Amino acid sequence: MVEKKEVKAVKAKARTIRTSPRKLNLVAESIRGLAVGRALSELSFSNRRVAGDVKKVLMSAIANAENNHNLDVDRLYVAEAYVGKAMVMKRFRPMAKGRAGKVLKPFSNLTIVVREHDQHEEKV
| 73 secondary structure, DSSP code | G
User: What is the average pLDDT across 3-14?
Assistant: 79
Dihedral sign from CA coordinates of 25, 14, 77, 4:
negative
Band of residue 123 on the pLDDT scale cut at 50, 70, 90: very low
Q: What is the pLDDT of residues 31-53, one digit of tens each?
A: 999 999 999 999 999 999 999 99
pTM: 0.87
Return the exposure string of 11-31: e unless at least 16 CB atoms fall within 10 Å of the residue's CB, then b.
ebebeebebbbeebbebbebb
Looking at per-residue pLDDT, the higher value among 34 and 2 belongs to 34
CA–CA gap between residue 57 and residue 115 (Å, rounded): 15
pLDDT of residue 8: 82
